[in-house]
Each structure stands twice: as structure tokens, then as C-alpha cells.
Structure 1
Amino acid sequence: MSLLQQVKMVIIEYTHLAKDALHIYVALAIMLGACFAFGWKVRQWRPWLLVLAVALAGEYWDWLENRSVGRTPDYDGHCKDVWNTMLVPTILLLAARYTAIFDKAPPASEEAPPPRENRSGDEAQVPGPAAGG
């Protein structure tokens, strides 16, 4: 068993998570960690592509390891793992790009002024032309 498989088994045993759930958490950690570390935004393609690259690399590694010990490849299982890994990052990407749920609320100073009847009535004084000019 490779070091990667040993680490996965320790994490599964320690966290009591199913292997499928672990894919989801790792995908979120990679996506949000990349946004934090590199200053990327969730609405950009780069964090999503990084998650996809890591997911494909991990599945390729699993495939190679299974092949090296003579196991029949589980293509359906690999596809399911990629699906589980990419579903939440895809939802986050689409929500950030095509909805306003991740938009920041404007600071209080940028909000629209109150209606005219609620103002104090004081108007700014604008100096007129200089005398004798």
C-alpha cells in the first residue's frame, strides 16, 4: 500500500468519514485554500481547475496502484470519485459567477441617502464670485 493510501486510511479512521465524504472535504479545502493562498476568487476558473487537476491526479494514482497489485480497474468508482470531488466546487463556481449570493453588501457610507424629508434641511453654502472681480 502506498503512502497516499496509508494517509487516506488514517484520515478515514481518525475522522470516521466515509471515503466519498473525504473527497468532498478535500475538494473544499483545496478550492478555498487556493483562493486564500493565491488571492483567487471562487468565481474564477483557476481554483475549480486546480481541484479538477488534483482529483484527476488522485484517481490516476489510485488506478496505477490498483493496476500494480493486479486489481481490475474500477472505472465506475473512479468516475464517482471525480463526480463527488467536483460537485460542490462546481456549485460554488456557478453560484459565484451567476448569482448575487456572494456579493458583498455595500458599506454604510455608500448606501443611498435618506429621503429628502428626513434630512436636516441644512444646505451647503457655496461661495459666490469675489467682490470687485
Structure 2
Amino acid sequence: MGATGLSKDALHVYVGMGVLLGAAWLGRWRVGDWRPLLAVLLVALAGELWDLIDNIRTNAPMQWRGHGKDILNTLFWPTVLTLLAQTRLFRRS
């Protein structure tokens, strides 16, 4: 898509992971903390709001399933990493 050559679905995955790791780093939070995941959710919702506004502006049909899929694509791996980070698997002794 555009300059990256990636599909829209792949971009959502990369953005979600980037926001999770970036928020954890900037906030000095653990990845297992809920705050980086909240940042991912807020960015995903903001992106879909932007898409909705663009659809209204251009009189394009609403793609509700597509918006839901985009939010799930953005949140899936950050949620998995957050949950894994809360287990003993990723904790130091």
C-alpha cells in the first residue's frame, strides 16, 4: 500500500506492534502493563474514526466489517504479547 508495498492488513499489524512497543518505551512501562495496550486501542479507534470521516466526506459506503477487522488486526498481537508478558514465561527469576 502506497510507499511501503504492504497490504492494509499488514500495516495494521505493524502499527499495533509499533505503538505497543513505543508506548512501553516512552512511558517506561512493562509490555505486560495495561497502559501500552490502551495506547494501541486508542490509536486503532482514532484510525478507524479517520476512515469513517473519510467515508462520509467522499460519500463512500460504510464498511463496518472492515473497520472491525482493522481494529482486530491492530490489537491481536499486542494483546497476545501483553498477556504473555504477564505469565511466568517472560518473567525473570
Residue type matched to 1:35 in 2? A
Query: 1:55, 1:95 → 2: CA distance?
Result: 21
Count of aligned pairs: 93
Is residue 58 of structure 2 the alignment partner of residue 81 of structure 1?
Answer: no
Distance in 2 of aligned mates of 1:68 and 1:14? 24
Q: Distance in 2 between the 1:71 and 1:19 partners?
A: 18
Could you list the runs of 5+ residues in structure 2 that have no partner in the other structure? none
Ranked by relative contact order (alpha carbons within 8 Å, sequence separation 6 or more), the top structure is: 2
CA distance in 2, matches of 1:49, 1:20: 20
Alpha-carbon separation, structure 1, partners of 2:2 and 2:43? 22
Q: Which amino acid aligns with 2:88?
A: A
Return the structure number with greater helix share: 2
The letter for the 1-side match of 2:63 is: D
Q: TM-score, normalised by structure 1?
A: 0.66
Structure-2 separation of matches of 1:81 and 1:22: 10
- Once the 2 structures are TM-superposed, how far is the Cα of residue 102 of structure 1 from its aligned partner? 1.6
Tell me by how many angstroms 1:38 deviates: 1.2
Runs of 4+ aligned residues of structure 1 deviating over 6 Å after TM superposition are none
Identity percentage over the alignment? 45
Structure 2 match to 1:53:
42
Question: Match for 1:100 among 85, 88, 93?
Answer: 88
- String of CA shifts for 1:6-52, please: whole Å, max 9, x gaps: xxxxxx33322111000000111111011111101111110001100
Q: 1:72 aligns with which of 61, 78, 81?
A: 61
Structure 1 regions of 5+ residues with no counterpart? 1-11, 107-133
Which structure has the bigger radius of gyration? 1
Q: How big is the alpha-carbon RMSD for the aligned residues of Structure 1 and Structure 2?
A: 1.1
